[in-house]
Structure 1
Amino acid sequence: MWKEVRTGDGRRLAVEITGDPGGSPVFLLHGTPGSRLGPAPRPMMLYHQRVMLITYDRPGYGPSDRLPGRPVAHVAADVAAIADAVGLERFAVVGRSGGGPHALACAALLPDRVTRVAVLVGLAPRDAVGLDWFAGMAASNVNEYTKALAGPDRLAASLRRRSIAIRADPVQLLAQLRRELTESDLRVIADAGIRAMLVRNYREALRVSADGWVDDALSFCSPWGFSPDDISVPVLLWHGEQDAFSPASHSRWLAEHIPSVIAILQPTAAHFASLRVLPDIVTWLLGGRPALTAERC
């Protein structure tokens, strides 16, 4: 079910609700670039787990109105507005990749409403003390975030050029990513269904503009508006050790700074392996024990 939600400052957010309408509510925050149509457990799995899944397009993605200069912390007010519109008092949150910092913002800023938070292949703050933020990161992301650090104009020009090409042919983004994918990730996207979903996701994310992509990158490289040390709700971190898009060292740093945390690192997995563990992550969000085998730190 698609619906439009208005925020307190009058912006429109595009929201998608799937799964069991009477189930336990879980917000799934998409990656970068991404949209409400991105990776998610299959509807049959959601019904089996009795989950109502809420996804939405962050400001500037899809038909959601832009919020220029938004910090990562902005997400808490937007998620609260959606929860109020749907009639939810308490809910869990999971963020994948670029959605990871935003999920942590919900944990830090909505402690009375958020039950549990999971972060898959997420990022640590750019100003994380003791972390070499770019170490192990793919050249394409280093280039993008370096432009973000230099200022918005150069980054915006670059991502807008890319988005025009991707809107014309969304397969281009997958082709660009393929050059930096590990064997693990190549096996994941070899699945035709996953490739079709990713193409649909990127097309929807960028169909209006590249503004969401630009603003995400800028927000990751700016003060987030909260500290991971202040998070009080239970958090699960999942990361593939071979990930080059958001290196596993970021989750290791977060694990040292979030008080109530479980960190699971898969030695042979990379970035897109996170798509396959989502159902197990949802099990944990609902209070169960995920069937994940990995090193814990």
Structure 2
Amino acid sequence: MRPEPGADGGGAGYPRRMVTSTDVRLPDGGVLRAHDSGADAPGAPVLAWHHGSPQTGAPLEPVLAAAAARGIRVISYGRPSYGGSTARPGRDVASAADDLAAVAEAFGVTGLASMGASGGGPHALAGAALRPGLVRAAVTLAGIAPRTDAYDWFDGMASPDGLRAAMRGRAARAAFAETDEFDPTQFVAADYAALEGGWASLGADVGRSDAFGPDGLIDDDVAFAAPWGFDPAAISVPVLVVQGALDRVVPPAHGAYLASVIPGAELRVRPDDGHVSVLDAVPEAMDWVLAKLR
């Protein structure tokens, strides 16, 4: 286990904790690069952070700061092919439940809340559905919904071509990655302001993820476009769905659908937010988590 310099996250007046990182060995011989903000905080409520697509899996500075201000311990990990974790082509969304359980066991955690942003949203829900003894509550922020005929899954997406390719299989999605270019129209003004301000660490982490290649994003998209391996309607723990009304990456219909099929789910729509700026809801989402964990 080693410290990650510069990854501490105390807020003003709160102790700053150094994030430690370790490779968690899996039964198949692979590893997950995992991170822990509070090994020195026994008894603290635990939040598992599920990263977006693509990122490294290291917890972001605003997440750490909001957690430190609330006495929350944050654990996270890079999904396969991200941030030093072993590749696992063909993984489905459901596999995140076992991965989270392995990370939690390695860190001595027996109960937690799960929170995921963007591509992390479905993976946060996987643990809620399949490991309810471990995951006591879940939050998804701008999280994509399962592919369904209940509405037009692609409607409102500025750049749906990657997911359309993923529907044709991994080879097609990998071929698309060879020519894929960032589409600036998928972010609204509020998103760019967030990336230049409080969420600058997100953009920096996306840049660091480039060093690990495109396979993580390819496998995420293929998993999103295929059956997830669990039914969100079977989730029995409390769930909060946070959605930006201006989101052009994961349109508002996705949040509305998730909230409609997950029993008892609470939907909070932020009218002025897009895909990145909606992350400003992280502190209030943590407050919601703390209320559910009491």
Question: TM bucket by the smaller chain?
Answer: 0.7 to 0.9
Q: How far apart, CA to CA, are the structure 1 residues paired with 2:21 and 2:157? A: 36
Shift of 1:154: 2.6
- 2:49, 2:76 within 8 Å by CA — same for their partners in 1? yes
SS of 1:119's partner is strand
SS of 1:243's partner is coil
- 2:238, 2:292 within 8 Å by CA — same for their partners in 1? no
**Structure 1 residues 146 and 43, CA, compared in 2 at 3 Å: closer, same or farther?**
closer
Q: Which residue of 2 aligns with 1:146?
A: 164
Letter in 1 for 2:189: E
Report Cα offsets for 1:169-198 as digits up to 9, x if no partner. xxxx8xx3533321221222232x633x13
Structure with higher helix content? 1
Shift of 1:250: 0.6
Q: How far apart, CA to CA, are the structure 2 residues paired with 1:148 and 1:43? A: 33
Q: How far apart, CA to CA, are the structure 2 residues paired with 1:236 and 1:135? A: 23
SS of 1:4's partner is strand
Report Cα offsets for 1:10-45 as digits up to 9, x if no partner. 211111112573121110000011122354535443
- 1:19, 1:47 within 8 Å by CA — same for their partners in 2? no
Letter in 2 for 1:267: P
Q: Which residue of 2 aligns with 1:6?
A: 25
Q: Which residue of 2 aligns with 1:235?
A: 239
Alignment pair present for 1:180 and 2:186:
yes
- 1:40, 1:278 within 8 Å by CA — same for their partners in 2? no
Letter in 2 for 1:194: W
Q: Which residue of 2 aligns with 1:56?
A: 77
Q: How big is the alpha-carbon RMSD for the aligned residues of Structure 1 and Structure 2?
A: 1.9
Q: How far apart, CA to CA, are the structure 2 residues paired with 1:57 and 1:120? A: 18
**Structure 1 residues 64 and 70, CA, compared in 2 at 3 Å: closer, same or farther?**
same
- 1:160, 1:209 within 8 Å by CA — same for their partners in 2? no
Q: How far apart, CA to CA, are the structure 1 residues paired with 2:39 and 2:187? A: 35
Shift of 1:201: 1.1
Letter in 2 for 1:66: A
Q: Which residue of 1 aligns with 2:9?
A: none
Q: Which residue of 2 aligns with 1:133?
A: 153
Task: After superposing the two structures, state which structure 1 stretch, 17-26 or 113-122, moved more.
Answer: 17-26
Letter in 2 for 1:61: Y
Alignment pair present for 1:276 and 2:277:
no
**Structure 1 residues 278 and 259, CA, compared in 2 at 3 Å: closer, same or farther?**
same
- Using the aligned pairs only, state the percent identity: 35
Q: Which residue of 1 aligns with 2:120?
A: 99
- 1:57, 1:205 within 8 Å by CA — same for their partners in 2? no
| Match among 212, 219, 222 for residue 216 of structure 2 | 212
State the structure with bigger RCO (CA 8 A, min sep 6), 1 or 2. 1
**Structure 1 residues 288 and 224, CA, compared in 2 at 3 Å: closer, same or farther?**
closer
- 1:124, 1:254 within 8 Å by CA — same for their partners in 2? yes
| Match among 151, 158, 170 for residue 176 of structure 2 | 158
Q: How far apart, CA to CA, are the structure 2 residues paired with 1:83 and 1:73? A: 16
SS of 2:90's partner is coil
- 2:39, 2:107 within 8 Å by CA — same for their partners in 1? no
Q: How far apart, CA to CA, are the structure 2 residues paired with 1:188 and 1:237? A: 20
- 1:61, 1:206 within 8 Å by CA — same for their partners in 2? no
- 1:97, 1:120 within 8 Å by CA — same for their partners in 2? yes
Q: How far apart, CA to CA, are the structure 2 residues paired with 1:52 and 1:9? A: 28
SS of 2:253's partner is helix
Q: How far apart, CA to CA, are the structure 2 residues paired with 1:233 and 1:288? A: 9
**Structure 1 residues 161 and 16, CA, compared in 2 at 3 Å: closer, same or farther?**
farther
- 1:239, 1:265 within 8 Å by CA — same for their partners in 2? yes
- 1:101, 1:124 within 8 Å by CA — same for their partners in 2? yes
| Match among 2, 8, 17 for residue 36 of structure 2 | 17
Q: How far apart, CA to CA, are the structure 2 residues paired with 1:96 and 1:42? A: 11
Letter in 1 for 2:155: A
Shift of 1:80: 0.2
Structure 2 gaps of 5+ residues are: 1-19
Letter in 1 for 2:56: S
Runs of 4+ in 1 over 4 A off after TM superposition: none
| Match among 184, 188, 194 for residue 199 of structure 2 | 194
